Structure 1
Amino acid sequence: MNRWIKSVAALVGALACTAATPRGMDPDNPTCPAAPNWSDYKTMVLTPFQRSGETVLLAEGRVDSELPARLEKVLTDNPSISEIWIRSPGGDARAGNAAGLLIRKFSKERQMVTRIPSGWTCFSACNFVFMGGRARTIDPGGYFMVHMFTMTGDKNAIQSSVALGTESTTELISDVEREAALMATEDNDLLIRLDVSRDLLSDIMYRQKSIATGSDRSTRRCLTRKEALKYNVVNVDPD
């Protein structure tokens, strides 16, 4: 009887989790899609195209260290670009910051709109590229996905450090802490320069776990439209 009760309880629990997570969404990160459409390009591909008489730039793929240089060239060579559509799984944090500032610089000469189209996802370093737009919009069904900045994803560095002993591991931890603090300062400064509320960091980004633990597997968060407007991530509402 006890085994039967446990089986029923487990089934009810599983059904409850399924019911609580809308179809197509990630059970571990229920505000975000289970299969984010952020492109599998290893480096970000920049493609200008014509749409209704205007030039739009598609920015798709991983934010790599050379992105700022390529982006500056494309924007310089195509002065008619007025809008950038972005989807990316993130990548190099500092390159993302630099690309965002670059977009803002070009926005002084022309109105530069950044957009996350419906079905597309902009994650991690992509967030700061997107926020570079003077005007920013997320279409219904587009996702601005955030997480906590971490360096612990570098498993090779961690394993090598542990193998070398306590002193090396302590040094690595100190490096991680310094880098995290520096990135937090840079991100905070960047949000000020891009007219985005710094509360986005404290209220949303820094509240996310960097590593999934226990029963709570959530490490990612997708902003609701209300939150995107509240923190001025979006300053043009498509509705």
Structure 2
Amino acid sequence: MRAARSAVAIALALLVPASAIAADPDATNPTCPKQLNWSTYRQMQFSVDTSSGQRVLKAEGQLDEDVPERLKEALAANAPIDEIWIRSPGGSARAGNAAGRIIREASLPTRVPAGWACFSACNFMFMGGPIRYVDAGAHFVVHMFTHVTDKDAIRAEAGRDADSAAALIGEIEQDSALLASEDNDFLIRMGVSRKLLTDVMYRQQAISGDDDRSTRRCLTAEETVKYNVANAQ
């Protein structure tokens, strides 16, 4: 079965245009191409594809709070499923973790196919697979999570009421610490190296700065293996 899946992966890679694999680099995020194919669906869509000879559940689009429940429904309605293919720009971090746990409970392999991109919360949904493929030409894209996206709003809050701003920052810090703990626990349970967090994710800029505007990092094929993000080929 694994040999058949590898053959499918190779066939898919051959079908992807060279431009989709060897894309021009992004000047702001130089480890990534300018264009990342992570789907424009505002809510993750689930569909079944049998063109590869397997029953593949394609999960495409943003992760919102409803994704875990809708994933359960899609798996039940379309059983049996052989593999899950994912492309997403991310979304709710905790929904990504919950979706990953559902995939692990179902013991379904996950794949980021050639030409597709999996970013942010999508990383954790993908890592739920006990067998994980990041195909040649696929992009596994990480960043440092943040609950603060608008620095001007924080400055404005501080200007109006220093005590309110301090309380808001305290809440953000507490929730960030909890999320970091949850992420560590998740990686341990999924068999992914926690160094993915400490060596890569947590070293990225949380918010674009004046000197360094890079906020995302595309892992190399070697790094996906090093950190056990991809554990099959």
Q: Identify the TM-score tier after normalising by the shorter chain.
A: 0.7 to 0.9
- Give the corresponding residue for 1:97: 97
Change (3 A) 1:165 1:143: same
3-state SS in 2 of match to 1:81 = coil
Q: Give me the TM-score of the superposition, normalised by structure 2.
A: 0.86
Output the CA distance in 2 between the equivalents of 1:105 and 1:156.
42
Of 131, 148, 156, 2:127 maps to: 131
Q: Give me the TM-score of the superposition, normalised by structure 1.
A: 0.84
Output the CA distance in 1 between the equivalents of 2:150 and 2:212.
22
128-137 or 153-162, larger mean C-alpha shift: 153-162
- Give the corresponding residue for 2:220: 224
Displacement of 1:216 in angstroms is: 2.3
Change (3 A) 1:44 1:56: same
Displacement of 1:154 in angstroms is: 5.3
Give CA-to-partner distance per residue, 1:116-144, whole Å, 9 cap, x none. 11111100000000001111011111000
Output the CA distance in 2 between the equivalents of 1:46 and 1:178.
34
Say how many residue pairs are matched: 212
Q: Give, as a single letter, the amino acid of the residue that structure 1 aligns with 2:139.
A: Y
Output the CA distance in 2 between the equivalents of 1:28 and 1:232.
27
- Give the corresponding residue for 1:3: none
Output the CA distance in 2 between the equivalents of 1:204 and 1:155.
23
3-state SS in 1 of match to 2:82 = strand
Give CA-to-partner distance per residue, 1:31-71, whole Å, 9 cap, x none. 11212111111110011121343210111000010000000
Q: How does 1:22-41 map to 2 (within 5 A)?
A: 24-41=24-41
Q: How does 1:138-153 map to 2 (within 5 A)?
A: 138-153=134-149
Q: Does 1:171 align with 2:167?
A: yes
Change (3 A) 1:79 1:120: same
3-state SS in 2 of match to 1:191 = helix
Does the aligned pair in 2 maintain the 1:54–1:80 contact within 8 Å? no
147-156 or 86-95, larger mean C-alpha shift: 147-156
What residue ranges of structure 2 are gaps of 5+ in the alignment? 1-21
Displacement of 1:23 in angstroms is: 5.1
Q: Does 1:106 align with 2:102?
A: no
What residue ranges of structure 1 are gaps of 5+ in the alignment? 1-21
Output the CA distance in 2 between the equivalents of 1:88 and 1:227.
20
Pairwise CA RMSD: 1.7
Change (3 A) 1:160 1:47: farther
- Give the corresponding residue for 1:15: none
Q: Give, as a single letter, the amino acid of the residue that structure 2 aligns with 1:114.
A: T
Does the aligned pair in 2 maintain the 1:44–1:63 contact within 8 Å? yes
Output the CA distance in 1 between the equivalents of 2:35 and 2:68.
27
Give CA-to-partner distance per residue, 1:179-232, whole Å, 9 cap, x none. 110000000000011110111100000010112223322111011111100110
Q: Give me the identity figure in percent.
A: 54
